[in-house]
Amino acid sequence: MKSKVLAALVATMAVGATCAFAANPFVDVPSDSWAYKSVVELADAGIIQGVDGQYFQGNRNITRYEAAEMVAKAMAHMDKASVEQRALINKLADEYADELNNLGVRVSALENRVGNVKLTGDARIRYIHQSEGDRVKDTTKQQVAKDTDVVNKATKNDDSWSYRVRVRANAQVNDRTKVTYGISSDNKTFSDNAQASDEKNDIYTDLANVDYNFGGNNWDLLVGRYEYDMGNGHGYGFLYGDTFDGAQLKYQNDKFAATAGYGKFKVNDLAGTADQDGVKTGYGELDGFFGGGRMAGSAVGVYYNDYTVSGGTQNAKPGAERLGDGFRFDDSWGAYASVNFGKWNALANYEKYNSSNDKASNNEGGNDPEVWVGRLTYGAANFATPKSWDAWVEYLNADNGFADKDGNFIGSTYGWRNDSLLNNVKSWGVGVDYTFAKNAQFQIMQSFATSAKDGDADPGEETRAQFVFVF
C-alpha cells in the first residue's frame, strides 16, 4: 500500500496547490525534511488531511479507502496536472475504481482524459447462404467465374460460417493528438478441416495512425493506416471501405466539411499482389450539413477519386495510363444525400467510374459503369442501448464493369452483398438490426427480386445473419 500511496503523492505533487509557502499543518514534518514542501502543497490543496488533523505519519500504512480519497481529490484537480501526472492518476483511478464508486466518483469520466489508453474491439460470427445462380447461355454477353457455367456457386455447409476478431488501442497523447493501433484476424471460415495449430491464422495491422486536431478544433490531420471509405462515411461505401495507407486533411464546422487525401488501398484486389502494384488514389470531398448541424446527421455531398495503378498487361488507348489487370478506372465521382426526419433516414447515392481503356470483350462491361443505391431506414440500433432496433429496405443498381476477368468484385465494400450481387445487377434488400443485450447485436439481411442487367442469367439470392459483440 505504501508504494501506491507514494505514487499518488508523486503524481499529485503540486496539483491544485494555491500557495507553496502555506503554514505547515503537521507537527511531525520538520521544516528541514526533504518532503516538507511537497507535503505542505498537498495539504494546502486538500489532497491529504493527516491523522487527527495534526500528524502526517508518513510511515503509516493506510487503507484502500484512504488511498481512494486521495485519488478522488487528485482527480478533482486533474485540469492542473501535467500529462505524466494525469496518466498516473488515471492508473490509480483504475486500481481503486470500486472504492471511488462508493465515494460517488465516476471513473468513466476518465475515458477521454489525456494520458489514458483505452482498449476496444469487436467480435463477429457470421452465417451466409447464397443460392446457386442461373446457368449462362451466352457467355459473350455475361461474365462467369472460371470452370463453371453458372453466375455463382451456392454457399453452403461449413463455407457458410465464419468469424472475425479485432482489437484497438486508443491513446490520448494530449488534448489535440490521438494515436490508434489496431489488429484484426482474417475472416476465418469453418470450412478449414485442419487442426487449430495448423491453421493459417493471419493476424494483421489494420489501423496504425496519428490524428492531430488543430486550428480551433476545425482542422484535422490523419496520417498512417486508417479506415477509408469512398463517400467519407456518409454514402453507401459501394466500391471500398477498409484498410488504407495514406494521409488526410479535413476542415469542418457545424455546417460544412472539406476533405482531401492521398494513399493506397490495402485490402483485396485493389491492394495488388506480389507481381502487381495496388491501386493508389487522391481524393477530395465536400459535405454540407443541415437540419440541426453536423451532429444531426442530415447531409449532402460530392466526392472525387483519381486512381493510379502501376504494372499490368491491359492495353490502353494512346496517351492513357497503363492500368492493372483487375482495375481499369482512371477516376470516379459520386454524390449522396442522407436526410433524417423523425425516426426515419433516407439515403440516395450515385457513383460514376471513368476509364480511357479499350474494352476488347463485352464480358468486361461498358467503359464507364454507374451505380445507384437507395436505402430507407426506420429506428436506430445502438450497442449501448438494449432492445434498440432498426429496419431497412434498399435498392441497388450496378452496371456491368465492377468485376475482374474472373467475375470477382474489384474492391472491398461496406455493403453486405457478395461478388455476384455487386456487378451487372439490379437487387432489392431488407434487414433488421436488434441489440439484444448491452454491447451485443443480432443483424440479418436478405436480398430479393435480383436480376442481371446484361445477359441471360440471374445471380442467386443471399441470406446473411450475424452476431456482433463490442467491448
Question: Does residue 373 contact residue 347 with C-beta atoms inside 8 Å?
Answer: yes
Q: What is residue 20's predicted lDDT score, i.e. its pLDDT? A: 42
Q: What is residue 40's predicted lDDT score, i.e. its pLDDT? A: 64
- 89-142 tens-digit pLDDT: 777 777 777 777 666 665 555 555 666 788 899 999 999 999 998 888 876 677
- 26-80 tens-digit pLDDT: 556 666 665 566 566 666 655 555 555 555 555 556 667 667 777 777 777 666 6
Mean pLDDT of the chain: 80
Among positive and negative, which fits the CA dihedral 154, 157, 161, 162?
negative
Question: Does the structure show a pLDDT above 90 at 346?
Answer: yes
Q: What is residue 2's predicted lDDT score, i.e. its pLDDT? A: 43
Which amino acid, residue 142?
Q
Q: What is residue 186's predicted lDDT score, i.e. its pLDDT? A: 87
Cα 267 from chain centre: 15
Question: Does the structure show a pLDDT above 90 at 304?
Answer: yes
Question: Does the structure show a pLDDT above 60 at 7?
Answer: no
The better pLDDT of the pair 358, 291 is held by 291
Q: Which residues pair with 444 in a beta bridge?
A: 432, 465
- 69-83, 224-238, 447-461: the lowest-pLDDT one: 69-83
Q: What is residue 128's predicted lDDT score, i.e. its pLDDT? A: 95
Cα separation, 134 vs 458, whole angstroms:
5
Where are the extended beta strands (E) located within 253-364? 256-265, 279-290, 298-309, 331-341, 344-354
Question: Does the structure show a pLDDT above 60 at 326?
Answer: yes
Cα separation, 135 vs 279, whole angstroms:
33
Q: pLDDT tier at 362 (50, 70, 90 boundaries)?
A: very low
The better pLDDT of the pair 153, 295 is held by 153
- Span 323-332, average pLDDT: 73
Q: What is residue 136's predicted lDDT score, i.e. its pLDDT? A: 84
The better pLDDT of the pair 382, 103 is held by 382
C-alpha triplet 209, 211, 216: angle, nearest 5° = 175
Q: What is residue 113's predicted lDDT score, i.e. its pLDDT? A: 61
Question: Does residue 413 contact residue 422 with C-beta atoms inside 8 Å?
Answer: yes
- Span 179-196, average pLDDT: 87
Question: Does the structure show a pLDDT above 90 at 209?
Answer: yes
Question: Does the structure show a pLDDT above 90 at 4?
Answer: no
Cα separation, 419 vs 15, whole angstroms:
59
Among positive and negative, which fits the CA dihedral 306, 307, 310, 316?
negative
Q: What is residue 170's predicted lDDT score, i.e. its pLDDT? A: 92
Among positive and negative, which fits the CA dihedral 330, 245, 182, 120?
negative
Question: Does the structure show a pLDDT above 60 at 382?
Answer: yes
Question: Does the structure show a pLDDT above 50 at 21?
Answer: no
Q: Which residues pair with 118 in a beta bridge?
A: 170
Q: What is residue 26's predicted lDDT score, i.e. its pLDDT? A: 59
Q: Which three cell numbers stand for residue 333?
A: 465521382
- Span 446-459, average pLDDT: 92
- 393-440 tens-digit pLDDT: 999 999 988 887 777 888 888 889 988 899 999 999 999 999 999 999
Q: Show the domains of the chain with their CATH numbers.
A: 2-110 (no CATH), 118-470 (2.40.160.10)
Cα separation, 36 vs 24, whole angstroms:
8
Q: What is residue 319's predicted lDDT score, i.e. its pLDDT? A: 44
Question: Does residue 235 contact residue 195 with C-beta atoms inside 8 Å?
Answer: no
Q: What is residue 126's predicted lDDT score, i.e. its pLDDT? A: 96
Query: What is the percent of the chain where pLDDT is above 70?
Result: 70
The better pLDDT of the pair 290, 165 is held by 165
Q: What is residue 354's predicted lDDT score, i.e. its pLDDT? A: 92
The better pLDDT of the pair 344, 142 is held by 344
Q: Which helix (H) or strand (E) holds 24?
A: none
Cα 394 from chain centre: 23
Strand 425-437 versus strand 279-290 pairing type: unpaired
Q: Which residues pair with 396 in a beta bridge?
A: 373, 427
Q: What is residue 413's predicted lDDT score, i.e. its pLDDT? A: 82
* Residue-by-residue DSSP string for 325-340: SS---SEEEEEEEEEE
Q: What is residue 327's predicted lDDT score, i.e. its pLDDT? A: 77
- 136-170 tens-digit pLDDT: 887 667 766 555 688 888 888 888 999 999 999 99
Question: Does the structure show a pLDDT above 60 at 233?
Answer: yes
Question: Does the structure show a pLDDT above 80 at 273?
Answer: no
